[in-house]
Structure 1
Amino acid sequence: MEGNSSASYAGIGGVGSNIWPLTGPEVVSREKLKELRVRTNGPGLYNLAVHVLALAATASLIYFTSGNPWLQVPAMLLYGTVIVLMFAPLHECSHGTAFRSRWLNHVVGFAIGAITMRPFLYFKYRHAAHHTYTQHDERDPDIVPFPTSLREYFSMILGASFWPKLVGTLVRGSTGNYNEEERTFLPASVRGQVSLEIRLLVLLYVAIAAVSVYFASPIALIYWFFPRVIGEPVLRAIRMAEHTGADESPDLLANTRTTLVNPIIRQLYWNMPFHAEHHLASSVPFHALGKLHDHVEPHLKHVSKGYIQVHREILGEVLRLQREARRAA
């Protein structure tokens, strides 16, 4: 393993590392954990069916509003939101907890990875590093620095750094020329498999583009690419709420935020708003996170009532930092 000890990969099968010893999971007893971590296919298949139906319903809105941009653009945003929220089942499959069957986690994970342009195997190892080093300012590959200005805040929401990273992942993965950060969470033994998946995805995207050009068809743009792009800010806002403004410490009770949301978002985001609970016990399937929340809520430092409240607090702090910067100038 190049330049790192095996502790770098602890998140794939364990919690934390000797470099960043995570605390907090001790509030969940072994008996409770054993009760909640039981995996089954039913809830995942149900949630997947609901998500597919939501995709079909919102895609039909695009079709029926064709020719009226004042209606079609909002329809695309709604459809795109449902698409980007597929990040949740992709994420759950990467933990092997969306379904009991291992092959089902992989098949669904690969399929959603293709739709959302997130290579499944690459994400699996990157996300494992995020769990191992949650909120470590150097080793957490998904840490979101707190915005110090309105410009930085809206840049994050619009994905100014996300899209270059995504394109870079596809380019580097296709060539097998991974950067230094990626080599810390991608063991040498799996890089060939990760590159193979990425090359197949890139070939798929090139084929879709070629067919679209040959037949002069806008279908892929209207029902996939454009909605996928314009929906991303919704996911950026949700993902910012998960850790931004929380403690940059190894205390899982304080470095992750749970957000209490309405049943529709909770359904389409596969219970991931219970994010502190997920980090405390990532082996607990999504459908049991509500029960885990009831068990650990008194111990959690950051529990917010909705994403609007979270972003109101973030923006309030951003404005305060801007005022301080102006006074110091």
Structure 2
Amino acid sequence: MSSEMITQTKLWDDKTEQHQNPQQILSVEELSILNERSNLKGLVQLIGHLAIIGCSGYVWATNFGNWPLAIPALIIYGFSLACMFAPMHEAGHRTAFANNRLNDIVAWFAGVLSFYNSTFYRRYHKWHHRYTRVPGKDPELTDLTPRNLGEYFLVLSGLPWWLDKIQGHYRAALGKLDNCPFIPDTAKAEVIRSTRLQLAVYAGAIAVSFAVGKPWFFMYWLLPLIVGQPLLRFILLGEHTGCTLDANLLTNTRITFTLWPVQFLMWNMPLHAVHHLYPSIPFHAMPQAYPMLSNHFTHVDSGYIKVNQYILANLGKLPC
């Protein structure tokens, strides 16, 4: 056999092996470099995110009544507040920072701001990664996949998300976790304590608002989050909707190129297929990892408008 034929055969064998085990596409050496976590990069990202929340929130608070300025500020403020889901998610993976204690603290407070409980979510999300798009096992598949225009706008409204979070926090606070197989018995007490503490924070904020006679809780948290959730739902719909219902990490998750501000506030999560293929890669290294993996992904789209157009055009035909 000629050397050229041997080379071609080896390339074919390598490609076949990678298809059978996509997580071997990157070498051990490449992955070890990409996996390097950084407290500095995580803090810079977090400070930048909080600065956007602070600046837009200040404009919203000081220009009430000046609607041409206040409304855009409210939208930015609400969206950046809802996007605290992203650092909660990243720190929940313990990849946002090199220090695990810092990851846990940031994840919890980011969850408070975005109405997620990070202690519960970490276990829930672990199963989502373990059983991504596997019917009957992936807990995210219990979320509504829109089958018609009414359900599409219902999902975008955020109403099902609010109901799920309110019911979920209530049940967790009461210790009713029997329908949550992703939470082991050894973690139930921690989840209950964490949820109760989070609800106590909200109760304290409401009490302060009533004590001073100002609608602070509503104006600076609840209303902005209500405004920001539809934008976040618009983005999160694109992560898996319309992708394959199987365990193939190259076909069951989407890459979506988007505007830099969205990429920033989402902590590079629009490169979602990279994250699912190698969840150990921190947010700051995903743009570096994508070119090394780009040829292997099936779903790569140029923008969330295009993704949602695809979803709308295929309502009732999407796997769910």
TM-score by length of 2: 0.89
Correspondence 1:62-77 to 2 at 5 A: 62-69=60-67, 71-77=69-75
What's 2:55 paired with?
57
**Unpaired segments ≥5 residues, structure 1:** 1-21, 323-329
Quickly say closer, same or farther: Cα 1:111–1:301, change in 2 above 3 A: same
What residue is the counterpart of 2:106 in the other structure?
Answer: 108
Q: Which has the higher contact order (CA 8 A, sep 6+)?
A: 1
Identity rate, percent: 33
The structural deviation recorded for 1:287 is 0.5
Gaps of 5+ in 2: 1-19
**3-state SS in 2 of match to 1:60:** helix
Is the contact between residue 146 and residue 245 of structure 1 (CA under 8 Å) also seen in structure 2? no
Runs of 4 or more, structure 1, over 3 Å off, are: 68-71
Q: Deviations over 1:221-251 (max 9, x none)?
A: 2111110122111111111100000111100
Query: What is the number of residues matched between the two proteins?
Result: 298
Shift of 1:290: 0.8
Letter of the 1:142 counterpart? E
User: How many angstroms apart in 2 are the aligned matches of 1:229 and 1:106?
Assistant: 26
Q: In the alignment, which of 209, 220, 223 is matched to residue 223 of structure 1?
A: 220
- What is the rounded CA distance, in whole Å, between the counterparts of 2:24 and 2:299 in structure 1? 18
Q: Which amino acid aligns with 1:51?
A: H
Counterpart for residue 241 of structure 2: 244
Of 251, 256, 259, which aligns to 1:254? Answer: 251
Deviation at 1:65, TM superposition (A): 2.1
Query: Given residue 117 of structure 2, which amino acid in structure 1 is its aligned partner?
Result: P
Q: How far apart, CA to CA, are the structure 1 residues paired with 2:262 and 2:248?
A: 27
Q: What is the letter of the counterpart of residue 190 of structure 1?
A: A
Q: Distance in 2 between matches of 1:208 and 1:132?
A: 37
1:321 Cα deviation (Å)? 5.1
Which residue identity does 2:150 align to in structure 1?
Answer: R
Partner SS state of residue 142, structure 1: helix
**Per-residue deviation at 1:312?**
0.9
Matches within 5 A, 1:78-93: 78-93=76-91
Paired residues of 1:173 and 1:194 also in contact (CA < 8 A): yes
Q: Does structure 1 conserve the Cα–Cα contact (< 8 Å) formed by 2:82 and 2:113?
A: no
| Aligned mate of 2:192, from 185, 191, 195 | 195
Please state if 1:315 is matched with 2:312. Answer: yes
What is the aligned partner in structure 2 of residue 284 from structure 1? 281
What is the alpha-carbon distance in structure 1 between the residues aligned to residue 62 and residue 163 of structure 2? 34
Match of residue 302, structure 2, among 288, 300, 305: 305
TM-score normalised to the size of structure 1? 0.87
Residue 115 of structure 1 aligns with an amino acid whose one-letter code is: L
Instruction: Give the root-mean-square deviation of aligned CA atoms.
Output: 1.7
Q: What amino acid maps onto 2:238 in structure 1? A: A
Larger radius of gyration: 2
Letter in 1 for 2:115: M
Q: In structure 2, what is the Cα distance between the partners aligned to 1:25 and 1:145?
A: 29
Give, in whole Å, the separation in 2 of the partners of 1:89 and 1:188. 27
Residue 149 of structure 2 is matched in structure 1 by: 150
Find the aligned partners of 1:23 and 1:196 in 2 and give their Cα distance: 39
